[in-house]
Amino acid sequence: MEESVAAEAVFGARLDTARGFVAHLASSGIERGLLGPREVPRLWGRHVLNCAVVADLMEQGASTVDVGSGAGLPGLAIAIARPDLSLHLVEPLERRVTWLNEVVDDLGLTNVAVHRARAEQMVGQIAGDYVTARAVSALSTLAGWTIPLAKPGGEVLAIKGRSASEEIEKARKMIRKLGGGTAEIVTVGSGVLPEPTTVVRIPVRTA
């Protein structure tokens, strides 16, 4: 499916807002070093659409914590695709937080709150039905940052690449120790994206 058709399928009536986000990424996002200039031709396919389809795994009206939001991927892409969700973006670097707030204000995203903090500092302050992350760290480390931010019965949704199964194997003990259940690999965006998104889904135990 062509990118323009895929973008319309994913964002629907919110497509103009998604275009605004891509425009920010292609200009100030590159200028301030949130993304490399070589990523510009791939902003839709490799980044924004790749992230937005993760929202297909989320229930209506859910709360989501995005760890290491950086350039708003996946947090802002999900927030644009799903205005029914409430998003908490957690990012420790001030320049990235400043940029995220500027984009949120410019696009009028009322379902997003940006927090300047490390993930471990937010435990007990915020919790989500879902906790997302992309390109932050290996799963064995990421589990320690994400599982404590999930509500009991919630899920961690980590966007991963081809090493997903290997990472799960290495992180299995840590996941169990932190209260996570059996991790599984799911793909989203099939039939819409040329390359579906690989997500490691970790259920968080209720007790």
Q: How far is residue 52 from each of residues 75, 83, 97, 115, measured CA to CA in Å?
A: 8, 12, 20, 21
- Which structural domain, as residue segments, surrounds residue 19? 3-203
Q: Which residue in this structure is represented by tokens 């996002």?
A: 29
Q: What is the pLDDT of residue 83?
A: 97
Q: Which residues contact 183 (CB under 8 A, 6 or more apart)?
A: 139, 168, 171, 172, 175, 200, 201, 202
Q: Which residues contact 13 (CB under 8 A, 6 or more apart)?
A: none
Whether 137 has a pLDDT exceeding 90, the answer reads no
Residue type present at position 112? V
Phi, psi of 106 (to 5 degrees): -65, -40
CA angle 70, 49, 44 (to 5 degrees): 85
Q: What is the C-alpha separation between 23 and 44, in angstroms, rounded?
A: 10
In this predicted model, what pLDDT tens digit does every residue of 107-133 receive, in sequence order? 999 999 999 999 999 999 999 999 999
What is the arithmetic mean of pLDDT over 188-192? 92
Q: What is the pLDDT of residue 115?
A: 98
Q: How many separate domains does the chain show?
A: 1
Q: What is the C-alpha separation between 115 and 159, in angstroms, rounded?
A: 21
In this predicted model, what pLDDT tens digit does every residue of 140-186 receive, in sequence order? 999 999 999 999 999 999 999 888 999 999 999 999 999 999 999 99
CATH number of the domain encompassing residue 99: 3.40.50.150
- Percent of the chain whose pLDDT exceeds 70: 99
Q: What is the pLDDT of residue 1?
A: 60
Q: What is the pLDDT of residue 136?
A: 77
Residue closest to 153 by CA, chosen among 84, 59, 56: 59
DSSP-based three-state secondary structure for 159: strand
Q: What is the pLDDT of residue 175?
A: 96
Can you say whether the dihedral through the CA atoms of 50, 92, 28, 17 is positive or negative? positive
Q: What is the pLDDT of residue 170?
A: 94
